[in-house]
Amino acid sequence: MTSAAALGAALVLPAAARAQDMPSGPVKIVVGFPAGGGTDVLARLLGQKLGVMWNIPVIVENRAGAAGVIAAEQVARQPNDGNTLLMAHVNSHGIAPGLQPKLAYSVERDFTPIALVGKTPTILIGGANQPAKTLPELVQLCRAQPGKIVFGSAGSGSAQHLALEIFKARAGIDVLHVPYKGSAPLMNDLLGGHVQYCFEGMTTATPLLQSGKVIALAQTLQKRSGSQPNVPTVAEQGYPGFEASIWFGMVGPGKMPDAMVQRMNRDIDQVLAMADVQEKLAQVGAEDGGGGVQRFADFMKSEQQKYAKTIRDARIVAEG
């Protein structure tokens, strides 16, 4: 009788263990931006692949608003059963904690890091007719005309704005910052000559670079992106260690079961290594994803500290 019971336990326990590392039903990945953008494209790609691996439906839900903060607030309130995940973004999990004192969530308390999906550089671009064509020339120009060279951004407190502020501090320059309500109106004024330079995301900047309408002076990852191999980094042009990326990562509500988190991390790593996924990542300029859960947790913490200091030193306040 004892042997039969032991045999039964041996057969049942592995199945139970497997059940504990997977959500009980369909998984929803919430994205804090409209459909069609870079964050949404990556979430749908991951969702499709993970759905096949897990043999359960994985759907994407777009809850745009407040640069990803609205979606983050929603996911922070969900059960920690793995059925609701968030494609976190530098805005919601790197910048917002230092920018919004009354933020309704704590990244450390209310979220479980799962996996870094990728980083994309911002590109320092200028109008094709602007006088400074290289980063050293631009720094020299800004020092010769303090407070007069016009830099735009996609909004006060945006990732693009923070890249500018970090660079200003490192280079010791003073410029005139003009915030816009998004990249589209900023690009219009950059092409029209009303704005001279800006840091912009690769998705927006690449078509303009390919058309010759703008020039690229630098990119903001520590190593050159494979998508822009001919554009030197800020770091290699005299500012070692400089990085100001736009990044994406998978998180869940706080205190998810560790076995489930580790399983999801391993599976996302496998997806990121697939050839067709690598091709899609390259199209949006995303790289350096994957690695362990702790790597992502440490990265998010360092990003929050970096941006909190930049926001504090530059006295940036949230719009609205």
Residue 222 lies in a domain: yes
pTM here? 0.88
Q: What is the largest CA-CA distance in the chain?
A: 90
Reported residue count of the chain is 320
Residue 15 lies in a domain: no
Find the CATH number of the domain harbouring 36.
3.40.190.150
Q: What percentage of the chain reaches a pLDDT higher than 90? A: 79
| Greater model confidence, 152 or 1 | 152
- Per-residue model confidence as pLDDT tens digits over 70-125: 999 999 999 999 999 999 999 999 999 999 989 999 999 999 999 999 999 999 99
Residue 11 lies in a domain: no
Provide the token pair at 97: 């904690």
Residue 2 has pLDDT above 50, yes or no: no
Q: In angstroms, rounded to a whole number, what is the distance separating the alpha carbons of residues 285 and 158? A: 19
SS3 category, 61: strand
- Per-residue model confidence as pLDDT tens digits over 215-237: 999 999 999 998 899 999 999 99
- Per-residue model confidence as pLDDT tens digits over 141-170: 999 999 999 999 988 898 999 999 999 999
Q: In angstroms, rounded to a whole number, what is the distance separating the alpha carbons of residues 261 and 220? A: 30
252 with 299, same domain? yes
By the 10 Å C-beta count (0-12 exposed, 13-18 middle, 19+ buried), 36 is classed as exposed
* Contact between 277 and 271 (Cβ < 8 Å): yes
Q: What is the mean pLDDT of residues 172-183?
A: 93
Where a domain ends, among 217, 237, 257? 237
168 with 228, same domain? yes
Residue 212 has pLDDT above 90, yes or no: yes
Q: How confident is the model at residue 305 (pLDDT cuts 50, 70, 90)?
A: very high
Query: Pairing state of beta strands 245-253 and 84-89?
Result: antiparallel
Q: What is the mean pLDDT of residues 168-195?
A: 94
Residue 19 has pLDDT above 90, yes or no: no
How many domains does the chain fold into? Answer: 2
* Contact between 120 and 42 (Cβ < 8 Å): no
Where a domain ends, among 183, 206, 237? 237
Residue 138 has pLDDT above 90, yes or no: yes
73 with 166, same domain? no
102 with 251, same domain? yes
Residue 17 lies in a domain: no
Residue 228: which domain range? 121-237
pLDDT of the residue at 7: 41
53 with 131, same domain? no
Nearest to 92 by CA among 74, 107, 77, 80: 107
Nearest to 43 by CA among 97, 89, 75: 89
